[in-house]
Amino acid sequence: DTAVSQTPKYLVTQMGNDKSIKCEQNLGHDTMYWYKQDSKKFLKIMFSYNNKELIINETVPNRFSPKSPDKAHLNLHINSLELGDSAVYFCASSQEGLADTQYFGPGTRLTVL
């Protein structure tokens, strides 16, 4: 009964490769998010997306692109991976209201060699 799930849990890859991380939520939420947590544990919002709008953090390189096949899924595609992309990536979901809680997936640890 996992509410927000991500695959894979670990991803090790070479510089220059293209990879995807998948996220699914079964909470019926309208909005999904991708976060990056760096080695110092800082959380940085990368994208938020619902069926109306994609909001992109302007600091995110355009090598990162979210893809949503339907309301329950928001995948993260990364082109031309760089060493600095190594981090833990978290997917989250919530309803649209200001008071609504975000629920997080377990994270994907990406290591770029």
Q: Interface residues with another protein (CB under 8 A)?
A: 4, 31, 33, 41-43, 45, 48, 55, 90, 92, 96-99, 101-107
Least CB distance from residue 17 to another protein, whole Å?
24
Among residues 83 and 99, whose Cβ is nearest to another protein? 99
Among residues 86 and 102, whose Cβ is nearest to another protein? 102
Least CB distance from residue 64 to another protein, whole Å?
16
Least CB distance from residue 67 to another protein, whole Å?
20
Least CB distance from residue 16 to another protein, whole Å?
28
DSSP letter for each residue of 14-71:
-TT--EEEEEEE-S--SEEEEEEE-TT--EEEEEEE-SS-EEE-TTS-TTEEEEEEET
Among residues 80 and 101, whose Cβ is nearest to another protein? 101
**93 — phi, psi (to 5°)?**
-145, 160
Among residues 18 and 38, whose Cβ is nearest to another protein? 38
Rounded CA-CA distance 74/67 in Å is 6
Sole residue written with tokens 């200001």: 98
Reported residue count of the chain is: 113
